[in-house]
Amino acid sequence: MLTVKEIIMATKAERPAKPTLPSDGNTQKDPEQWVTGQEPMTGAQKSYLKTLSEEAGVEPDESLTKGEASEQISELKDKQHVVDHRADGSTSNTEKDPADWATGDEPMTGAQKSYLKTLSDEAGAGFDETLTKGEASKKIEELRQNNPRTN
């Protein structure tokens, strides 16, 4: 089984150079030019890379930098486009159960907190600031289903 680094190295050689985009403030920088590109990958990158690697049937490399992880994520997404089946033959789930999230037991994100507060206020329900990412996701889904504005 190929490692993520082996895939990166092989595809870098095959990939044409990215075109330079006009400087309109909305360009995508090559990860090799990132100021923080040599730092360890983020938790979000690690989790997403793990999911994509499992679906592609490759072993994820946990030692990647932010830049390398970004390139690998792009490469796996380009190869798969839309994943129909996981490597184990099961149908791919584009929405993973929060109980299966690698970071599901971490505190909820700022975005989750803000959205959950809004939904809770609209529903007249209590708001619990101590929820994890996974718990917040489930609560948001529950409140969305019962909210006429979001249903």
- pLDDT tens by residue, the chain, 151 residues: 666 666 666 666 555 555 544 444 545 666 666 777 788 888 888 888 888 877 777 888 888 888 888 888 888 777 654 444 455 555 555 567 777 777 888 898 888 898 899 899 988 999 999 999 889 889 988 988 888 877 6
Range of the domain at 117: 106-145
Residue 71 to residue 10: CA distance in whole angstroms = 12
Phi-psi category of residue 124: left, alpha or beta, with phi > 0 → left and psi -120 to 50 → alpha:
left
Q: What's the total number of domains in the chain?
A: 2
Residue 85 lies in a domain: no
Together in a domain, 72 and 9? yes
Residue 52 to residue 68: CA distance in whole angstroms = 14
Using a 10 angstrom Cβ sphere, with 0-12 exposed, 13-18 middle and 19 or more buried, the burial of residue 67 is buried
Residue 52 lies in a domain: yes
pLDDT value for 131? 93
Together in a domain, 49 and 110? no
pLDDT value for 30? 67
Residue 64 to residue 87: CA distance in whole angstroms = 22
Residue 95 lies in a domain: no
Together in a domain, 63 and 15? yes
Phi, psi values for residue 85, rounded to 5°: -140, 145
Distance spanning both ends of the chain, measured CA to CA: 44
